[in-house]
């Protein structure tokens, strides 16, 4: 039987994750990754970090973790960026959201505080009850899209 496998090159460099919005969900993600990096938490529920894959027959007893079998980026190689209509950094946003324990937030406060959102594209006509001050301005939607493209290019070059 011919080998039909595909060689997958190992992940190299940083893995950039850009978040749209820096609220409860995004700050929980960032705080969780930071807590795992620092050994404060375990990656419970993370398929890539704790999940396993069976190789061969059940009786072969070959069950490596996915992260040890597939050449994926390490959690230490993740770099976060974000856009938000509010200028609060990730620590302030997480404190305001109130979904994480303050003790955990304080342990990762330096990393969260360093994540400051870029101005977001925001259309007030679609969201009546939010009024953000950290928003992009432009004459057209295309101009706003070009600003997002510039943000992504800058994020890539800086990280």
Q: What is the pLDDT of residues 90-120, one digit of tens each?
A: 999 999 999 999 999 999 999 999 999 999 9
Q: Helices 90-97 and 24-37 meet at what angle, rounded to 10?
A: 120
**Confidence band (pLDDT; 50, 70, 90) for 1?**
very low
Whole-prediction pTM: 0.84
With vertex at residue 82, the alpha carbon angle to CA 32 and CA 104, rounded to the nearest 5 degrees, is: 25
Average pLDDT, the chain: 92
Counted residue by residue, the chain has a size of: 159
Host H or E run for residue 68: helix 66-69
Host H or E run for residue 18: strand 15-20
* Longest Cα–Cα distance in the chain: 65
Question: What distance in Å separates the CA atoms of residue 25 and residue 141, rounded to the nearest whole number?
Answer: 27
**Confidence band (pLDDT; 50, 70, 90) for 39?**
very high
Burial class for 142, CB neighbours closer than 10 Å (0-12, 13-18, 19+): exposed
Host H or E run for residue 147: helix 141-158
Instruction: Output phi, psi for 95, to 5 deg.
Output: -65, -40
Q: Are 77 and 11 in contact (CB under 8 A)?
A: yes
């Amino acid at each position: 039987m011919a080998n039909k496998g595909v060689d997958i090159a190992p992940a190299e460099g940083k893995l950039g994750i850009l978040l749209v919005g820096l609220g409860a969900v995004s700050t929980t993600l960032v705080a969780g990754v930071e807590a795992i990096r620092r050994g404060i938490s375990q990656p419970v529920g993370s398929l890539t970090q704790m999940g396993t894959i069976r190789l061969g027959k059940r009786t072969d007893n070959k069950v490596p973790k996915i992260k040890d079998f597939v050449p994926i980026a390490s959690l230490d190689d993740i770099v976060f960026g974000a856009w938000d209509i509010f200028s609060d950094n990730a620590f302030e946003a997480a404190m305001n959201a109130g979904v994480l324990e303050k003790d955990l937030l304080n342990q990762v406060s330096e990393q969260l505080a360093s994540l400051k959102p870029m101005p977001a594209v925001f259309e007030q006509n679609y969201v009546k009850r939010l009024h953000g001050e950290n928003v992009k301005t432009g004459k057209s939607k295309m101009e706003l899209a070009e600003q997002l493209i510039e943000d992504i290019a800058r994020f890539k070059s800086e990280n």
